[in-house]
Amino acid sequence: MLNVDNLEDEILSEEGIQSLKWIKNETRRIASIVQSMSRFTGKNEFLGGASTGMSWLPQVDHYMKYLLKEYPRVSYSRTEELFDLKCVMPSDELQQILINLLNNAVQAIEGIGSTRMEIRNEEKEGISYLVISVSDTGPGISPTDQMRIFDPFFTTKAVGKGTGLGLSIVYGLINRYQGSIIVQSESGHGSIFTLTLPRE
- The domain ranges of the chain are 48-198
Enumerate residues 6+ apart whose C-beta is below 8 A from 175.
Answer: 44
What local confidence, expressed as pLDDT, does residue 165 receive?
64
Report pTM.
0.75
What pLDDT does residue 154 have? 75
- The percent of the chain in helix, strand and coil, each rounded to the nearest 5, is 40, 20, 40
Beta strand extents in 79-179 (DSSP E only) = 113-124, 127-136
Write down the pLDDT at residue 83: 76
SS3 12: coil
CA angle 81, 173, 63 (to 5 degrees): 50
Q: Which residues of the chain have pLDDT under 70?
A: 1-54, 157-165
What pLDDT does 44 receive?
43
- Does 48-198 carry CATH code 3.30.565.10? yes
CA distances (Å), 85 to each of 21, 112, 198, in order? 22, 31, 11
